């Protein structure tokens, strides 16, 4: 379920998305327990530049829980890293940045980075 706001005069979009709100309808094996759905709340904004063929987006995901940072103890101990993730690292793990370049009407080049 989502809500999208578009301002064509300012070349701006914002959206709120709730993914996997509900339950599994049927199981893969008869008599098996229903599995939890990977629930996710996302908020995104996009701004297109008026005088250049560029568009930038910022998405914040997993808003329903703060600490989504995955700490692999086996890897961290082997590398000698025993520090707990900082508040900033936990905050940044929610961000996805992307950019789109439109060199023509029929070609679009995208790039993005997920901090998680």
Mean pLDDT by 10 residues, the chain (116 residues): 96 96 85 88 97 97 87 68 79 95 96 93
**pTM for the model:** 0.79
CA distance 57 to 69: 22
Cα of 48 vs its chain's centroid, Å: 19
- What is the C-alpha to C-alpha distance for residues 32 and 56, in angstroms, rounded to an integer? 44
């Amino acid at each position: 379920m989502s809500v999208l706001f578009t301002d064509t005069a300012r070349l701006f979009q914002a959206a709120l998305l709730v993914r996997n709100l509900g339950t599994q309808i049927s199981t893969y094996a008869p008599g098996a327990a229903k599995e939890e759905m990977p629930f996710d709340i996302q908020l995104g904004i996009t701004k297109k530049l008026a005088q250049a063929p560029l568009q930038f987006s910022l998405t914040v995901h997993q808003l329903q829980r703060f600490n989504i940072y995955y700490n692999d103890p086996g890897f961290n101990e082997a590398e000698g890293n025993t520090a707990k993730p900082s508040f900033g690292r936990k905050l940044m793990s929610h961000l996805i940045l992307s950019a789109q370049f439109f060199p023509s009407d029929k070609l679009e080049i995208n790039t993005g980075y997920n901090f998680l």
